[in-house]
Amino acid sequence: MFTGIIQAIGEVADLQQRGGDVRLRVLTGKLDLSDVELGDSIAVNGVCLTAVDLPGDGFVADVSRETLSLTSLGQLGSGSKVNLEKALTLATRLGGHLVSGHVDGLGKVVERHDDARSVRFSIEAPTELARYIAHKGSITVDGTSLTVNAVDGCRFELNIVPHTLQETIMGGYGVGSKVNLEVDLVARYLERLLLGDKAAEPGAGSIDMDLLARTGFLKG
């Protein structure tokens, strides 16, 4: 688990193709690795990866074909900047929100404009994720815990302050940038709870108007 508070900006040093998947080496910069051991988790642009080697200036992780297909990690190259966060401990301040490091889908930046010293981004999410994104709710973008300022269909808006622009890779986003999205865990569990016993039935996966009516959320 993670908090969505980015601890450092790292840099991809190398990507090696290995039998269809990739071995990734990341230079971690100011990230303190003194308490990291082999097998520990580190989030790279919001993707939970396992450290399989610790060469001293960073870490090495294997990235599966599934992860490459579902996230933006497959688009990285040598020199790419990445957001980094070590897994939380019981002593960690929960300054963001609970983040699993399991990306739900890829979003796309569709608009960027300055707003005083902040920058406003409009991001388009996959259709199947839209129902989990709420005004003033939490969302994780490339591992960064953020508050949704507005929602319009599949698009949501973010207001990013100067500190976040400086301490994450968001300052480098432009129109067309692909970003990893993880929706709020509570929203996902709530959906399954509302399904009740139907959650065990094959094909049960989402809430529809009939379910809301039967469970008393809609009045006739």
The model's pTM = 0.88
- Which of the 8 DSSP states describes residue 38? T
Mean pLDDT of 45-58: 97
Residue 1 vs residue 190, higher pLDDT? 1
Query: CB-side exposure of 17: number of CA atoms within 13 Å?
Result: 3
pLDDT for position 91: 81
Q: Is the pLDDT of residue 67 over 90?
A: yes
pLDDT range class, residue 218, cuts 50, 70, 90: low
Give 3's DSSP letter: -
State mean pLDDT over 35-57: 97
pLDDT digits (tens, 9 = 90+) for 106-132: 999 999 999 999 999 999 999 999 999
- Assigned architecture for domain 105-183: Beta Barrel (2.40)
Per-residue pLDDT for 204 more than 70?
Answer: no
| Helical spans, DSSP H, in the chain | 65-70, 162-167, 185-195, 209-214
Evaluate if residue 96 carries a pLDDT over 90: no
State the span(s) of the chain assigned CATH 2.40.30.20: 8-86, 105-183
Give the separation between CA 147 and CA 135, rounded to whole angstroms.
8
Q: What percent of the chain has pLDDT over 70?
A: 92
Q: What does the pLDDT read at residue 89?
A: 85
User: Over the stretch 184-201, which tens digit does the pLDDT of each residue have?
Assistant: 988 888 877 877 777 777
For 8-86, CATH gives 2.40.30.20
Distance (Å, whole) CA 106 – CA 97: 20
Least confident segment among 43-57, 67-81, 121-135, 183-197: 183-197
Element of type H or E holding 195: helix 185-195
Q: For residues 206 and 185, which has the higher predicted lDDT (pLDDT)?
A: 185
User: Residue 157: exposed, middle, or buried by beta-carbon count in 10 A (0-12, 13-18, 19+)?
Assistant: middle
User: What pLDDT score does 156 carry?
Assistant: 98
Cβ burial of 74 (10 Å; 0-12, 13-18, 19+) is middle
* For range 203-217, the mean pLDDT: 58
- Rounded to whole angstroms, the Cα distance separating 122 from 158 reads 6
CA-to-CA distance for 82 and 209, rounded, in angstroms?
Answer: 41
